[in-house]
Structures are given as structure tokens and as C-alpha cells.
Amino acid sequence: MTAHEQYGEDLALYALGLLEGNERGALEQHLATCSSCRRELEQLRGDMGLLALEAVGPAPPQRSRKRLLEAIAFGARPREVQTRTRWWTWAPVVASILLAVVGVALWRENSQQKRRIDALQTEISQSAATLEHAKMVIAMLESPDAVRVSLSPGQTSPQPHGKAMYLPHKGALIFMASNMPAAPPAKTYEVWLVPMSGAPLPAGTFKPDARGSATVMMPPLPAGIQAKAFAVTVENEGGSPTPTMPMVLVGAAS
């Protein structure tokens, strides 16, 4: 047995602070002169630190736990040198301490895993609910049975609306209006043909009936005028040769 092997057995106990008396003194003397035993002691202390860290931090190398346990097992072996038996009554205590450290580490690890699993399960059930909702919306949009209703402010009256049919080469026009409010007193509506160039041409006057409808049939218009647009204005009774703004209806001919 070399000197190192002899002291190596005590290093684990020393690292745990369990070596006492003459043996402690002898080891400390040896440590003062032997750098390789000092290195071994540092490694054992490092292993213990890592085991303690394991309870709160990232997983340490598996070898730390293994090496410490091996050091303890090595120390627990019956030994030939009869004078140095006292220390190994400590072996069960050391083993218990190590088991406790490892046990706490495993328990922490386990409860962290459980928290991770809980979080995942919550996430999964939230995703499932979102998917279910999306499926329902798509099914609604695709369903032929769905009742479709457009809603608008209840008080809104129907909008005024005009339609013109025009045959340029004959100068023939039919104009129909709906939802027109009554013309103001002494006023009338007037239809205009807006040519591609030049001034708008008067194309008949009208007053809507009680339901707001009106028709202008074949007003006198020259043949062969290309229309850019048709428009309606409010004019004095009897009509005007030129339109008075604003236009109450307008539509481009295209």
C-alpha cells in the first residue's frame, strides 16, 4: 500500500468533516506535503458541492454522485490495519447523509417534472378549447341551414335611387326613381344627360308620387349624343336650362 492509498481512504470522511483525532492530524500533515491527495480532496469537496447544488440547479454530472458513493463504499471495507477501525463506525451515518442529499435532489426533480406536466396539460386543454371554437365557427359559416339576417338602424329610411336606360343613336331615355323625398314647395326634380363634352342637357322633370316613385319617359333629346353620366337636381317649378347644384343623384354611364 502506497502512502496515497493509505490516506485516500480517509479523504472522503475528511471531506465530510467526520475524521477526528490522530487520523485527522496525520491526514492534514500528509495533505501539507502531497499535492495529489490535496487534488483528490478538492475533487471530493467539489462532488459534494454538486450534489448539494442538484437540489436547486441543473443536473450535475452523474459521476459526482457515483464517485462519492464509491469513496464511501471504499471506506466502508473492512481493513487490514487493526489500529484504524474506529472511523468506519461512521460509514452508516455517511451513507445516510448521502442518501438524504440524493433523496432531496430526486424529490425536487420529481416535483419540478410534475409542475412541467401540469403546465403542459393546461396548455393542451386550452388549445383543445380554441380548436373546438374554431371548428364551430367554420361549421356555422359553411352550414346551409344557418339563418342569415342583416341588421341596420331601425329608423333609417330607404335611400333615394335612380335608374336610367338610354339609347344614344335614337336619343331615347327611360328614367325611373324610387324612395325620393317629396320636392320642396314650388320646386321640381330635373334629370340631366351629361355628354362626353359640353354642358349638361335637360332630360325632363318629375315629382315623385306618395311612395317616392317617379318615371320620366322619352324626354326630348337630340339623337347621337354619347352620355358620360346622368344626374338629378332640384330646380324651380317648370325646369331650368342649366343644372343647379348640388346633384341629388348621379350615375356614370359606362
Residues contributing to the site for Zn ion (CB under 5 A): 4, 34, 37
Smallest separation (angstroms) from Zn ion to the CB of 96 = 28
Smallest separation (angstroms) from Zn ion to the CB of 32 = 10
Q: Which three cell numbers stand for residue 176?
A: 325611373
What string of DSSP letters covers 15-68? HTT---HHHHHHHHHHHHH-HHHHHHHHHHHHHHHHHHHHTTSSPPPHHHHHHH
Terminal CA-CA length for the chain: 112
Which C-beta is closer to Zn ion: that of 14 or that of 189?
Answer: 14
Smallest separation (angstroms) from Zn ion to the CB of 54 = 29
* Cα three-residue angle 227-228-232, rounded to 5 degrees: 85
Smallest separation (angstroms) from Zn ion to the CB of 37 = 3
State the Cα torsion 172-177-181-185 to the nearest 10°: 20
